[in-house]
Amino acid sequence: MPRIVEHRSALPNGPLIAMHVRRDANADPRVFATVAIEVFGRNPSPDAFPDRLPVADAFLQALAYAERADIPVVWIDDPLRLFPPDKRPARDAETKEGE
């Protein structure tokens, strides 16, 4: 299973799957996520995923894609903490309860 990283300082030097969680009062759903294949903030494959997804769906798709593509890290960019670890349908084996 890919490692889940939440802090930018822990990002690897290679490719990763980035899941950006955002809120938009005019969107449906209001809290959504975008998923991208990134290397140092560049998005080399902008059409790999739909633009917006429900957050839990985006999370599962990001994990599944990382596993299939042998990408070791899924970065969750969630500055507002809209999708905390206890709300996720799967957890990193290294993540402890309450973190």
pLDDT tens figures, 34-81:
898 887 666 656 666 767 899 999 999 999 999 998 999 999 999 999
Least confident of 9-23, 51-65, 82-96: 82-96
Q: Return d(Cα 38, Cα 50) in angstroms, integer.
A: 15
d(CA 97, CA 94): 10
pLDDT at 32 over 80: yes
Quick check: bond before 29 cis, omega within 30? yes
Work out the angle at residue 41's Cα, subtended by the Cα atoms of residues 36 and 42, and round it to the nearest 5 degrees: 70
Q: Which is more confident, 46 or 4?
A: 4
Q: Can you tell me which residue has the tokens 């899924």?
A: 74
Its pTM stands at 0.79
Contacts 24+ apart (CB under 8 A), 42-50: 44/15
Asked if residue 1 lies in contact with residue 67, where contact means CB atoms within 8 angstroms, the answer is: yes
